Amino acid sequence: MSTIVKALRTLGDKDQSTALYNFGAKSLWTTELEEKLTSGQLDVIVHCLKDPTARRGGRHLRFANLRGNVKRRLAKVDKPESEYTCMIMSAAGLERVGLKRRITQHLGSKDGGILHAVGQGALGLEIRKGDAAVLELLNQLVDRKSALACLAERALMRTLEGGCSVPIGVETEWLDPQRDSVLRMRAIVRSGKKSMMAASLVEAGADANLKNINTHRPSKD
């Protein structure tokens, strides 16, 4: 079997300066690709499953948007006159391009107090509905534990009606590494100085919190 790999750029890739929340769309990187999928121009779309990470803690810090590919963002941080002191990004992304040496700390709930984005570190494969042949082929690539964890994280995001511009953070962990029976999830929705750790985020008012966040987004970076 032969395959053809096409690298495509969507609006989210082309515009490297606009803050994500100013696009006003949940499917910033997917809509254009899905149109090609449904029209038959593509058979499989390989997505990065994550959405931007929610920030927690560090109230003495000032956060700013930093867009671009890995090397471009690092260059902005490295400039002597840079406004950035450090940068938070995917460790997997740095390792993939041979820049593991640039990692100074891994952040998590136990070492930095930061939860990761929904689907962080996972790839998502999207196909046309009803394409049984492609589905059978791709099922051989599925990692069950990763898939279940991602489904749980995305279920949380759907419940809160989140997208790529809202501060939902999550962390999932299998309590028994040998089995896939008990999955623990930590989650947070943050707005300004308020944060809510989830036992039940919706009941705690997280959905209203997200609506308030989107309503009061600044219009510029």
Looking at the domain assignment, is residue 3 inside a domain? no
Is residue 221 in some structural domain?
no
Average pLDDT, the chain: 76
Count of the separate structural domains present in the chain? 1
Classify residue 217: in a domain, yes or no.
no
pLDDT recorded at residue 11: 65
Residue 10, pLDDT score: 74
Predicted pLDDT of residue 93: 81
CA distance 185 to 199: 9
Domain span including residue 165? 11-212
pTM: 0.65
The pLDDT value recorded for residue 26 is 52
What gap in Å lies between CA 135 and CA 139, rounded to an integer? 6
pLDDT lower than 70: segments of the chain: 11-29, 51-60, 112, 161-166, 190-221
**Considering all CA atoms of the chain, what is the largest pairwise distance in Å, rounded to the nearest integer?**
55
β-pairing verdict for 194-197 and 183-191: antiparallel
In a domain, 25, yes or no: yes
Number of Cβ within a 10 Å radius of residue 35: 11
pLDDT at position 3 is 84
Q: What's residue 199's pLDDT?
A: 40
pLDDT at 158: 80
Q: Is residue 158 part of a domain?
A: yes
CA–centroid distance for 111 within its chain: 20
Domain-embedded: residue 145: yes
Question: Is the residue at 95 inside a domain?
Answer: yes
Q: Give a yes or no: residue 102 inside a domain.
A: yes
Q: What is the pLDDT of residue 166?
A: 63
CB atoms within 10 A of CB 166: 24
Residue where the block lists tokens 């803690």 = 57
